[in-house]
Amino acid sequence: MNVLVCVKAVPSTGSVQVDGAFRLQRDGAKLEWNVSDLSALEAALSLKGPEGRVTVLTMGPKKLEEPLRELFARGVDEALLLTDPAFAGADTFATANALETAVKNHGPFDLILCGRRAIDGETGQVPSMLAAALALPCITGAERITPEGSGLLVRRPVEEGVQMLFVPMPAVISLCEYTYSLRLPGIMGLRRAKGKAVTLLSPAELGIDKENLGLSGSLTRVIQMDSKFPGLRKGPKTDSLSQGIPAILSVIKEAKG
Amino acid sequence: MKTEICILCPYGIDPGLVSKASALAPGTVRVVIPPRDAEKAARYGANLIHTVEDLPPDEGQVALWLKEKILNWGSTVVLAPATVFMRNVMPRLAHHLKAGLTADCTQLQLEGEKLIQTRPAFGNSLMATIRTCSPIQMATVRTGVFPPEEKKILNPTVSREAFHLSEGSVTLRALLRDTEGAPLSQAEIVVAGGVGIGSREGFQKLERLANQWGGALAATRGAVDAGFAPYACQVGMTGVTVCPKVYLAVGISGAVQHLAGMSGSEKVIAVNSDPKAPIFDYADLGIVADWETVIDQLLEE
Amino acid sequence: MISQNALHHAEKCRFCFMCRHLCPIQLQTGKEINTPRAKGLILSMENKGTAKFDRDMAQTMYECLICDACVNDCATGYQPPLFIREARTEAVANDLAPESVMKLLENVEATGNIYGAEKPSFAREGKDVLVYVGEVAACKVPKMAESLLKLLEQAGVSAKVLENEPGSGAMLADLMGYVDEVAQEAKTLANAINATGLKTVVVLDSYDAEIMKQRYAAWGAEIHAQVVTATQYVSDLLKAGKIAPKASLAKKGACHDDDRLARTFYEFEPIREMAKAAGFELVEMFNKERLAKSCGSAVTLAYMPNIVLKVASGRWSDLLRTEAQAILTANPQSYLCLTQNVPEGKEVVDLYSALI
Say which CATH number the domain at B244 has: 3.40.50.1220
Tell me whether residue A250 is in a domain. no
- Mark whether B138 and B222 lie in a shared domain: no
Mean pLDDT of chain B: 90
Predicted confidence at residue B124, as pLDDT, reads: 66
Q: Can you give the length of chain B in residues? A: 301
Domains and CATH numbers, chain C: 4-97 (no CATH), 129-236 (3.40.50), 243-355 (3.40.50)
Instruction: Count the alpha carbons within 13 Å of B21 in the hemisphere toward its beta carbon.
Output: 34
Q: Which of residues 8-37 of C touch A (CB under 8 A)?
A: 8
Q: Which domain holds residue A105?
A: 2-232
Burial class (CB in 10 A: 0-12, 13-18, 19+), C45: middle
Residue A6 falls inside a structural domain: yes
Distances (CA, A) of A95 to A133, A218, B88, B133: 11, 8, 16, 16
Residue A28 has pLDDT above 70, yes or no: no
Tell me the C-alpha to C-alpha distance, in Å, between residue C11 and each of A5, A26, C42, C145.
Answer: 31, 19, 10, 43
Which pLDDT value is given to residue A189? Answer: 87
Report pLDDT for C288.
Answer: 94
- Burial (CB < 10 A; 0-12, 13-18, 19+), residue C21, is exposed
- Each residue's pLDDT tens digit, A131-180: 999 999 999 999 999 999 999 999 998 888 889 999 999 999 999 988 88
- Report the CATH number that the domain containing residue A12 is assigned in CATH: 3.40.50.620
Sign, Cα dihedral of B227, B229, B235, B241: positive
B133 and B22 in one domain?
A: yes
For chain A, what is the domain count? 1
Which residue ranges of chain C lie beneath pLDDT 50?
Answer: none
C219–A181 CB contact, under 8 Å: yes
Q: B287 and B232 in one domain?
A: yes
The answer to whether residue A120 sits within a structural domain is yes
Q: A20 pLDDT band (50/70/90 cuts)? A: low
Residues B148 and B202 in one domain: no
Shortest distance, CA B154 to any CA of chain A (angstroms): 32
pLDDT average, residue stretch B221-228: 83
Distance, first Cα to last Cα, chain C: 50
Mean pLDDT (whole number) for B227-244: 81
Residue A27 has pLDDT above 80, yes or no: no
DSSP class of residue A183? P
Asked whether the beta carbons of residue B289 and residue A165 sit closer than 8 angstroms, the reply is: no
User: Could you check whether the bond before residue C24 is cis, i.e. omega within 30 degrees of 0?
Assistant: no
B28 vs B3, B79, B97, B199, C118, CA distance in Å?
A: 7, 13, 21, 57, 82
Ramachandran quadrant class, B198 (left: phi over 0; alpha: psi -120 to 50; beta: rest): left
Question: C26 with C34: CB under 8 angstroms?
Answer: yes
Domain for residue B244, yes or no?
yes
Among left, alpha and beta (phi > 0; psi -120 to 50; other), residue B190 is beta
Q: Which residue did the predictor score with more confidence, A233 or A44?
A: A44
How much is the pTM?
0.81
Give tens-digit pLDDT for B27-82.
899 999 999 999 999 999 999 999 999 999 999 999 999 999 999 999 999 999 99
Chain A within 8 Å of C252 (Cβ-Cβ)?
no
Are B139 and B258 found together in one domain?
A: no
Task: Using a CB–CB cutoff of 8 Å, tell me whether C176 touches chain A.
Answer: yes
> In this structure, is residue A77 part of a structural domain?
yes
pLDDT score of B102: 95
Interface mutation vs chain B, best among A128, A134, A239, A240, most B CBs within 10 Å = A128
Same domain for B208 and B270? Answer: yes
Q: Are residues B69 and B152 in the same domain?
A: yes
State percent of chain A over pLDDT 90: 58
Q: Is A235 helix (H, G, I), strand (E, B) or coil?
A: coil
Is residue B237's pLDDT more than 90?
A: no
Residues B21 and B131 in one domain: yes
Same domain, B71 and B207: no
**Cα B83 to Cα B143: distance, rounded to the nearest angstrom:** 7
In the predicted structure, residue A230 carries a pLDDT above the cut 70: no
Answer yes or no: is B295 within a domain: yes
Residue B274 has pLDDT above 70, yes or no: yes
Residue where one domain finishes, among candidates B128, B144, B160: B160
Q: Which residues of A touch B101 (CB under 8 A)?
A: 92-93, 125, 219-220
What distance separates the 2 farthest-apart alpha carbons in chain A?
71
Split at pLDDT 50, 70, 90, the class of B287 is: very high
Q: List the one residue out of B40, B35, B48, B39 whose CA is nearest residue B7.
A: B48
Q: Is the pLDDT of residue B118 over 60?
A: yes
Q: Which residues 218-237 of chain B have a CB within 8 Å of chain C?
A: 225-228
Give, rounded to a whole angstrom, the gap between the first and last alpha carbons of chain B: 66
d(C-alpha C315, C-alpha C309), whole Å: 10
Q: Is residue A252 part of a domain?
A: no
Q: What is the dihedral of CA B188, B194, B198, B203, to 10 degrees?
A: 10
How far lies A111's CA from each of A7, A108, B249, in Å?
14, 9, 41
Instruction: Assess if residue B179 is contained within a domain.
Output: no
The band of B178, judged by pLDDT with boundaries at 50, 70 and 90, is: low
* Cα–Cα distance for residue pair C168/C213, rounded to 1 Å: 11
Average pLDDT for B226-233 = 82
**Domain annotation covers residue A64:** yes
Last-in-domain residue among B160, B176, B196: B160
Angstrom distances, CA of residue A181 to CA of A120, B224, B226, C78: 20, 11, 11, 24
Q: How does pLDDT run across A83-101, given as a tens digit for each residue?
A: 999 998 889 999 999 999 9
How far apart are the C-alpha atoms of C121 and C133, rounded to whole Å? Answer: 9
Determine, yes or no, domain membership for A170.
yes
- The answer to whether C264 and C307 are in contact (CB under 8 A) is no
Domain boundary among B96, B126, B160: B160
**Weakest mean pLDDT among A39-43, A136-140, B226-230:** B226-230
What percentage of chain A exceeds 70 in pLDDT?
92
Give the residue from C199, C203, C277, C202 showing the smallest Cα distance to C240. C277
Q: What is the pLDDT of residue A15?
A: 58
Does A101 lie at the interface with B, CB-CB under 8 angstroms?
no
Whether B213 maps to a domain, the answer reads yes
Q: What is the pLDDT of residues B10-30, one digit of tens each?
A: 999 999 999 999 999 988 999
Cβ contacts of C299 within 8 Å, gap of 6 or more = C104, C114, C171, C174, C175
Q: Provide the CATH number for the domain around residue B147.
A: 3.40.50.620
Residue A20: CB atoms within 10 Å? 6
Contacts of C52 (CB under 8 A, 6+ apart): C46
* CB-nearest partner of B175 from A136, A161, A166: A161
Q: State the residue range of the domain holding B292.
A: 184-300
Same domain? B215 vs B139: no
